[in-house]
Structure 1
Amino acid sequence: MKKFVVLFLVVMAAVACGDNVEFNTPAIQGNFEGTAWRADYYAADVDFGGFLFEGGRGLEVLQLVTPTDGVGTFDLSSESAAEAIFKGVDGTIFSTANSPDPSVTLYPVEGTISVQNIDNSSSPQRISGEFNFTAFSADGLRSVNFIDGVFYRVPLTGGLVSLGDTNSCQQASQALNSAEQIFNNTTAGDTDYIEVCNAYRDALLDAIDACGDSSGNLQTTLDDLGDCL
């Protein structure tokens, strides 16, 4: 009995050590189509005012794009500003910006990217969070699925280029976020106020055109902004 207890404790200690290695090593990983997937390389960048995360394994590339470069949870769908992209071994691009063909499903596809921690004490900054999504090919007939996805202490090194140029709503939303931040840091007495204000107006109009405005919030902001004089 004593030998069994000792063996059990040794096994538990080994498991605990394995978990510590897993969670203390920078990574992008998840359950891809029912099997474990872990990136061989990973990096992060800031693109159009939001984060762009990338991890790759062989010919496969995973990218996660958020509309802002801060902590938060971002919904993924064909209507959202955030986007998840996966490039398969055959070069097919799957994106949450693509809608499924009605023959595949009539239900909206959902997913999330959750940025949970930004470590500003390290150089470069390191970012951690979770993700899950189903993404479709451009024709909506093929899909890939990730669940239990994690990006852990991914370094913000820059130099990345988004694979997804199809989601104009994403880009418009990120551009609006950047223009809004600049506008909020500018006063009416500043020499470049009119230029900054007009850039903000243009970004609002572009976002309304690209994403729609079912809540009316963007139009209200535009109306409140008034003429940039």
Structure 2
Amino acid sequence: MKKIALFLITLATVFSCGEELQFNSPAIQGNYNGNLWRAASYAADIDFGGFLVQGTNNIETLQLITQDDTAGIYNLGGDNPSVAIVRDANGVIYSTANEPDPDFTLYPVEGQIIVESIQDTNPKTMTGTFWFYAFSDDGMQTVNFNEGVFHKVPIVGGLVAFDNGSSCLQATQQVNIALAVFNATDTTMPDYTDACNAYKNALMDKIDVCGDPDGSQQVIVDGLGTCIP
């Protein structure tokens, strides 16, 4: 009798896990303010040189935006250009690019987006995890996600990032794009001056938008000089 009961428990566990795996492939889900949250629709895009992962349950919408379009760990909050954004049922936008009001909370903005793998399927898909604390524009309201997962989300394009807290991200990604062109352009090429000036201008735009606390970006600008080889 004990063997039969054990067999039935094992069988139930197998089917339960199978249903969970089937539900979560593909999927975006996590604990949102302490409650299980699952996206009813999801997609990913590559924009400004980085990933944009979006999921919505038709009430709230989640966006995860990374600095680069490669697998890796992207820290959120502070001066980090990657950002997580939530738009709630009332249209309020919470972002890791917003600072909390010090009278509201002493907890800092923080989090991570971890892109674990990019699957070379058709279309390509991406898998990873995330967690974060995000704040409203006035810093007086907060939301959090933990144990977040995006699993085999298709990279299909056509997404637009919410207009909140992403200007530094976009400026950083424009620098990355300009740097790639600059690195591929030799000083003997006729396009060198244009490529150098484009990189220099992108750096100065980033300084204007993101600031330059340690002066490292200005050092690069100064090093480029007049962009005449």
With structure 2 as the length reference, what TM-score do the two structures score? 0.92
Task: Please report the RMSD computed on the Cα atoms of aligned residues, expressed in angstroms.
Answer: 1.6
- Displacement of 1:19 in angstroms is 4.1
Identical amino acids, percent of aligned pairs: 45
Partner SS, residue 43 of structure 1: strand
Distance 1:112 1:72 in 2: 10
* Residues 190 and 165 of structure 1, relative CA distance in 2, 3 Å threshold: farther
Distance 1:185 1:33 in 2: 46
Distance 2:79 2:200 in 1: 22
Post-superposition CA distance 1:117-167 (Å, at most 9, x none): 1112x1111111111111111111111110011111111111111113433
Supply the AA of the counterpart residue of 1:8.
Answer: I
- Displacement of 1:78 in angstroms is 4.3
After TM superposition, the structure 1 = structure 2 runs for residues 1-229 of structure 1, keeping only pairs within 5 Å, are 1-23=2-24, 25-120=25-120, 122-229=121-228
How many pairs align?
A: 227
With structure 1 as the length reference, what TM-score do the two structures score? 0.92
Supply the AA of the counterpart residue of 2:4.
Answer: K
- In structure 1, the gaps of 5 or more residues are none
Partner SS, residue 53 of structure 1: strand
Supply the AA of the counterpart residue of 1:212.
Answer: G
- Displacement of 1:13 in angstroms is 1.9
- In structure 2, the gaps of 5 or more residues are none
Runs ≥4 residues deviating over 6 A: none
Supply the AA of the counterpart residue of 1:9.
Answer: T
Q: Does structure 2 conserve the Cα–Cα contact (< 8 Å) formed by 1:85 and 1:164?
A: no
Supply the AA of the counterpart residue of 2:200.
Answer: R
Supply the AA of the counterpart residue of 1:107.
Answer: Y
Q: Does structure 1 conserve the Cα–Cα contact (< 8 Å) formed by 2:93 and 2:164?
A: no
